[in-house]
Amino acid sequence: MKRLNRYAMAAALIALGFSVAPADELKQITVGNLHNWFSSSGNERESSGPVGTAIDGLDYPALYRHQDMQAAKAIWIGARDYQDPIVNQTFDYKVVGNGPRKVDELAGFMPEKFLLYGRFEKPLVLVDGLTASAIQFTDDVDIVDENLTVDRKLLNVVNTSMGITMQRTIYYSTHPDYDNLMIHDYTFKNTGIYNREGAINSDNFLKDVYFFYQYRYGCVKNAADYYLNVVPRSAKWGRNQVNDFIFSPYRAIMSWNGLHHDSGHDNLGAPAVNTDGHLVSPNFGGVVILHADKEPNSGVDDPSQPSTSYYLGSDNPVNTPQEQFNATLMSNQYQKMAAGHPDLTHAQDIEASGKAASQWGDDNGGYSATMGFGPYQMALGDSIRIVWADGIGRISMEKAREVGFNWLKTTGNYIMPDGSSVTDPDAYKNAWFYTGRDSLMKMFGAATSLWENNLSTPLPPDPPQWFEVQSGGDRIILKWEKNAESQEHFGGYRIYRALMERDSTYHLIFECGLETSESIVNEYHDKTPQRGFDYYYYIESFDDGWSGQSLASSKFYTLTAEPAYLRRPAKDELDEIRIVPNPYNVRAKHLQYGTGDGEDRIMFLNLPPYCTIDIYTERGDLIKSIDHFDATGDEAWNQVSSTRQNIVSGIYIAHISTPDGRTINKKFMIIR
């Protein structure tokens, strides 16, 4: 009776608008080229991540902004003829689910353990004395384990109301052969624990158990209406997503953003038709099965699993919020979990129809890929192990720019991936787009190899434990710790730099150590920056190539999130103050301080060490006051007023005053 009263109270609180479930704890793996987030509940649901958008996670290549393509996932556990100790009732079909949208953490999936392990802590990264690591707020290691053979390991233990305890362990390596994938190792054990208090159902024999996963993908986030807006709105939740399932040479899911009838052009790859044509969404997402137990406790892989690979409408009624005492809903869900394999995969069915992916089917939410494993008979104490890897395959960012540019300009003679030439721009673009499928197959092979080798892979030297970047008057000074130098096979250091944008192209500017012209040092003075521009850096430790492949520490460990820039020494004479550019012309922004963060930049140069810059319109309206108190001779302004408005064309007056009462007025012009 107490148990029933507790659920009645929970229902009453929900009806009144109160939340009774514990809030998710989220952790992220962000130390390599593939980034993702994870929930302590045991599954990553729609709009439940750090950003809370419809597309959030499975971010690759993560150096560039908004490369996510994960929309939602789900994990359901189902059984037949289940005697439920919570409500003292036998259900023909019992399903407890997490996702794709909701989960009951009070009485469905109940988190017990959630820990992130690292081979070492993230380094300290400083720019001008301030903490500036790109992963400062995303890489939160709980336990350092120097014996790890991968960079990060996430351990998550969750009890479920069916008496099955789920343990998932997620592994990620920054090794360049594996940095576009993560391995997910699941063990489902019939412990009989069915509530948060740890009560055990000692009669918990489970009949015809299925473990069912859903994967919902969308277009790359940068293509959606959040940002570049180069695809129809429904592409972001996957209305035109195409899902395929293959059984040879791997058991695997493949998913990509297909044709959309509302695009007005061939949208494969999501070319940026309003700018340079680059392919914004060339990503292929996928899942490869690495192991599925044949029977409980066997440790033997069953090649006939998964037993279900049917695609499922993302807005199908079975994907409503989970209700673990709703017999009708659970029966319908179980039928989906045990549906078997379709005659045609989703991709084959779309192709056979001759329709655009967005016009196929009647589910406005698009379609999700699924995998169902079972049926298993599980006595108390029995375990089932299922292992899979997910990740991304795609053409490189450079090739995506090249192909998209050529497609948009309709240059006429297009070189195909096999070296032949065609005159059809769509055929050219799409051929390169579909090489992403080949890259995904390569990822499946890499994941299989890594798993079969017990996650053992050659390790690069550690990154420096600290990396400091200091802006100077005529140079930018970089210093770093030498901890990696004592490690076996250490080779040296390389420093890379990007101009103006952190997610732009990085160029090698310095290297020291083996096969270089410089001996090993721990300080470098970058004397080539130009005044008024932002610079981003990272340093990597590299090895001596002992494994047959030169390896280096991941850029993300030392990548700076804040810019360094030349700081001119302060001047005392107000007559020497200069405003650059003057005039500012928006049509010449690429000749001034670049595009991106610097495209609206105006610099005040040769300033005194301390002063106030008041900017007025020609008729005398004060639009911005800038306090310059950093003792340098430079101050930047991005043409935004005190009320956060963009500045319009016109003549402006900068009134500059010092604490000792000196003043000067400087005119400048803005042309937009």
Provide the pLDDT for residue 93. 99
SS3 312: strand
pLDDT grade for 22, boundaries at 50, 70 and 90: low
Provide the pLDDT for residue 540. 99
Residue of 445, 439, 468, 462 whose CA lies nearest to 554: 462
CATH topology for 2-108+161-393? Answer: Beta-galactosidase; Chain A, domain 5 (2.70.98)
pLDDT grade for 592, boundaries at 50, 70 and 90: confident
CB 94 within 8 A of CB 324: yes
CATH topology for 574-671? Answer: Immunoglobulin-like (2.60.40)
407: number of CA atoms within 13 Å, CB side? 31
- What are the strands of the beta sheet with 490-499, ordered from one edge? 507-513, 490-499, 535-543
Backbone angle region of 575, left / alpha / beta, with phi > 0 → left and psi within -120 to 50 → alpha: alpha
SS3 271: strand
pLDDT in tens, 196-218: 999 999 999 999 999 999 999 99
466-557 and 574-671 agree in CATH topology:
yes
CB 423 within 8 A of CB 431: no
Rounded to whole angstroms, the Cα distance separating 174 from 185 reads: 18
SS3 288: strand
SS3 631: coil
- C-alpha angle 16-18-19 in degrees, rounded to nearest 5: 145
Q: Which residues of 142-197 form beta strands (DSSP E)?
A: 143-144, 152-160, 164-172, 181-190
Q: Where are the domains of the chain?
A: 2-108+161-393, 466-557, 574-671
Mean pLDDT score of the chain, rounded to an integer?
94
Residue of 244, 213, 208 whose CA lies nearest to 342: 244
SS3 529: coil
pLDDT in tens, 227-268: 999 999 999 999 999 999 999 999 999 999 999 999 999 999
- C-alpha angle 422-423-427 in degrees, rounded to nearest 5: 70
302-329 burial, b at 16+ Cβ within 10 Å, e below that, comes to: eeebbbbbbbbbbbeebbeebbbeeeeb
Beta strands 143-144 and 109-118: pairing type? Answer: parallel
User: 466-557 belongs to which homologous superfamily?
Assistant: Immunoglobulins (2.60.40.10)
pLDDT grade for 20, boundaries at 50, 70 and 90: very low
The secondary structure of residue 220, as a DSSP letter, is -
